[in-house]
Amino acid sequence: MPVNYADYRDIDIDAMDAVVVGSGFAGSVVAQQLAERRDMKVLIIEKRPHIGGNMYDEHDEAGILVHRYGPHIFHTNNQRAFHYLRQFSGWLGYQHHVLADLHGEYMPVPFNLNSMDMAFGPEKAERLAAKMIERFGEGARVTLSELRAEEDPELSEVADFVYDNVFLYYTQKQWGQTPDEIDPSVTARVPVLLSRDNRYFQDTYQGMPDKGYTALFEAMLDHPNITVCLNTEAESVFDLEFSGDEEDAPLSAIKLHGKEFTGPIVYTGPLDELFLARFGRLPYRSLDFVYETYDVEHKLPCGTVNYTVSEDYTRITEFKYLTGQSAPNTTIMKEYSRAYEDPDAQIPYYAILSDENRAHYERYRALTDSLPNFHPLGRLAEYRYYNMDWIVALALELADRIIEGEGAAA
Ligand code: FAD
Ligand code: UDP
C-alpha cells in the first residue's frame, strides 16, 4: 500500500487522533510511532509538494539520485535511532570523506595527523603531533576554541594554521561571521582529530539508505492510519486562539476545520512562522544549490570537497559517492550560503545560535507552553542545530511520552 495522500479540504478532522506538521524525520517518526504502537489516526500537514523534509532525494534529468536540500549522510552513536530506521530500508555502509581544497591541493577534513603532515612537512609534523598528543591524548577530538586557548607557541602555530586554512573563510561564507564571532558549538562539530582516521564522522553507525531517503520515508509513512496533506501550510489551516489580546498572551487552543483539536499536535516548522512573526523574524541562514552534470564517471576525488580558502561556494558534493549509484555520468552540487531574508522564496536551513536569538526564540516558545497538547519538535521548531539522528531519537522519545500520556488518560 502506498502513502495515503488527501486534500486537506476533504479531511474529517473528527476521525483524527493526532496532527503532525511537517514530514521530515521529526514529524514522520512521531506519526509512524503513534499510528503503529497506539493505532492512532494521524494527519500530517506538509507545505512542500513532497514528503521527507530536508532529506528528500530524487533522480535528476540525467538519472542521478540527488539530494534537493543539501547532502545528507546518516551517522550516529544512538543505537535506538539506527535500529529504528533499519526497519524501513536496507543500508549501504558508506563512510563520508571530505577534503579541503587549498589552492588545488587536497587536505583531509577534519584536520588530523595526515593533514598535519601536509601542512608542516613530515618532520615538523611529527614533533607537533607528539606535543599535541602529550597535551590532549591520542585520538582526542580537540575543538578549535580549545586549541586556540593554548599558549605554547608551537600549539599556537597549529591553531593559527587550522584557523586560517580550515575555518576562517569557510565560516565567513557560511555564516557571514568569523569563527570567533559564531557560537563555539558550531565549529566544535568539526574538531581537530589526533589520529589518522580520514573519515568526516567517527560514529559507530554510518550509512545511507540503499534506495534513497524518499523511499525510506515512503516506507515509514505507508500506514493505513496515516494521511498526508501536501502543499498545505499550518498557518493557513490552523485557527489559533489566545488567552488575551496582548502580544504575549499564550495560546489557548488550536482549531482545525472550525473545531478545537484536543489530541496531540506535533509542530516541526519554524515557530515564528506559526505566529506570523509577531515578535519579528527569527534569524536563519539559507542556501542556494547549483547542480552540474558531467559526462564523466567521477568529477571529485571523494564525496565532498570543502573550499576553505577560495571560491564563493562553501562546498561541492558528488552524490554518486554517497548513494553508491554507478553510472557513466555524474551530478555535483555547489552550496552557496545566503542571508535568510525572504520566507516566501527561501528556506530557513540553519538557526543562527546566539544568546540573543535564543531569547528571541524563547519568547515564541512561551506562547505555546500553556497548551499541553502542542509539542514543538525538530531543528526548526526548537531552533537548534540538530543532526538527523538526534531528531529521530527525540521523536521516538516524544512518541513514548505521548503514548504514556494517552495510556494514563485512558
Ligand atoms: P525538516 O527536515 O526541515 O522537516 C520539516 C518539515 O516541515 C519540512 O518538510 C517543511 O516543509 C515542513 N514545514 C515547515 N513549516 C511548515 C508549516 N508551517 N506548515 C507545514 N509544513 C511545514 N544531518 C545529518 O545527520 N547528516 C547530514 O549529513 C546532514 N546534512 C545537512 C545538510 C544541510 C545543508 C542541512 C541544512 C542540514 C543537514 N542535516 C544533516 C540536518 C538535517 O537536515 C536535520 O537534522 C533534519 O532535516 C531535521 O528534521 P526535521 O524534521 O526537524 O526538519
Ligand atoms: N567548518 C569550516 N570549515 C570546514 C568545515 C566546517 O569552517 O571545512 C565550520 C563552519 O563554520 C561550519 C561548521 O564548521 O558551518 C560546521 O560544519 P559541518 O560540516 O558540521 O556543517 P553542516 O554539514 O551542518 O553544514
The answer to the question of residue 1 being in a domain is no
Q: Rounded to an integer, what distance in angstroms lies between the CA atom of residue 219 and that of residue 270?
A: 26
Residue 191 contacts residue 184 (beta carbons within 8 Å) = no
Q: Rounded to an integer, what distance in angstroms lies between the CA atom of residue 278 and that of residue 368?
A: 14
Q: Model pTM greater than 0.85?
A: yes
Q: How many domains does the chain have?
A: 2
The CATH number for 364's domain is 3.40.50.720
| Closest atom, ligand 2, to C-alpha of 169 | 7
Phi first, then psi, for residue 14 (nearest 5°) are: -65, -25
Task: Please classify residue 9 by burial: count the beta carbons closer than 10 Å to its beta carbon, then call 0-12 exposed, 13-18 middle and 19+ buried.
Answer: exposed
CA of 200, nearest ligand number:
2
Q: Which amino acid is at 111?
A: F
Residues 116 and 174 in one domain: yes
Q: Considering only CA atoms, which of 172, 126, 164, 122 is closest in space to residue 147?
A: 164
pLDDT given for residue 130 in this prediction:
98
Residues 170 and 103 in one domain: yes
Q: Rounded to an integer, what distance in angstroms lies between the CA atom of residue 395 and that of residue 34?
A: 11
The answer to the question of residue 189 being in a domain is yes
| Closest atom, ligand 1, to C-alpha of 22 | 7
Q: 141 forms bridges with which residues in the sheet?
A: 193
pLDDT given for residue 410 in this prediction:
40
Confirm or reject: Cβ of 54 under 6 Å from ligand 2. no
Q: The cell 580520514 sits on which residue?
A: 198
| Residue 120 grid cell | 608542516
pLDDT given for residue 1 in this prediction:
61
pLDDT digits (tens, 9 = 90+) for 200-259: 999 999 999 999 999 999 999 999 999 999 999 999 999 999 999 999 999 999 999 999
Tell me the chain's radius of gyration from C-alpha atoms.
23
Q: Considering only CA atoms, which of 3, 309, 48 is closest in space to residue 171?
A: 309
CA of 232, nearest ligand number:
1
Residues 250 and 358 in one domain: yes
Q: Rounded to an integer, what distance in angstroms lies between the CA atom of residue 40 and that of residue 219?
A: 18
Query: How many angstroms separate the alpha carbon of residue 155 from the centre of ligand 2?
Result: 22
Residues 170 and 229 in one domain: no
Residues 404 and 274 in one domain: yes
Task: Please classify residue 232 by burial: count the beta carbons closer than 10 Å to its beta carbon, then call 0-12 exposed, 13-18 middle and 19+ buried.
Answer: buried
Q: What dihedral angle (degrees, nearest 10) is formed by the CA atoms of 390, 396, 399, 404?
A: -120
Confirm or reject: Cβ of 203 under 6 Å from ligand 1. no
Domain boundary among 193, 210, 243: 193
Q: The cell 553507525 sits on which residue?
A: 205
Question: What is each CA distance from 98 to 56, 109, 111, 199, 308, in whole angstroms?
Answer: 22, 6, 10, 7, 12
Residues 135 and 15 in one domain: no
| DSSP track, 48-74 | SSSSSGGG-EEE-TTS-EEESSS---E
Give 362's Cβ-side CA count (13 Å radius). Answer: 7
Q: How far is CA 161 from the centre of its chain?
A: 29
The answer to the question of residue 145 being in a domain is yes
Residue 340 contacts residue 346 (beta carbons within 8 Å) = yes
Residues in the chain, pLDDT under 70? 1, 407-410
Residues 160 and 239 in one domain: no
Q: Checking DSSP bridges between strand 141-142 and strand 192-193, what pairing results, if any? A: antiparallel
Q: The cell 526497519 sits on which residue?
A: 87
Residue 234: in which H helix or E strand, if any? helix 234-237
Q: Which of 72, 254, 275, 290 to mutate to test the pocket of ligand 1 (most atoms within 8 A of CB)?
A: 72
The answer to the question of residue 132 being in a domain is yes
The answer to the question of residue 128 being in a domain is yes
The answer to the question of residue 242 being in a domain is yes
Residue 388: in which H helix or E strand, if any? helix 388-409
The answer to the question of residue 273 being in a domain is yes
Confirm or reject: Cβ of 268 under 6 Å from ligand 1. yes
Domain boundary among 140, 174, 193: 193
Domain boundary among 193, 212, 247: 193
Residues 173 and 109 in one domain: yes
Domain span including residue 135: 98-193
Residues 121 and 257 in one domain: no
Residues 31 and 111 in one domain: no
The answer to the question of residue 314 being in a domain is no
Residues 187 and 264 in one domain: no
Residues 186 and 233 in one domain: no
Contacts of 211 (CB under 8 A, 6+ apart): 89, 90
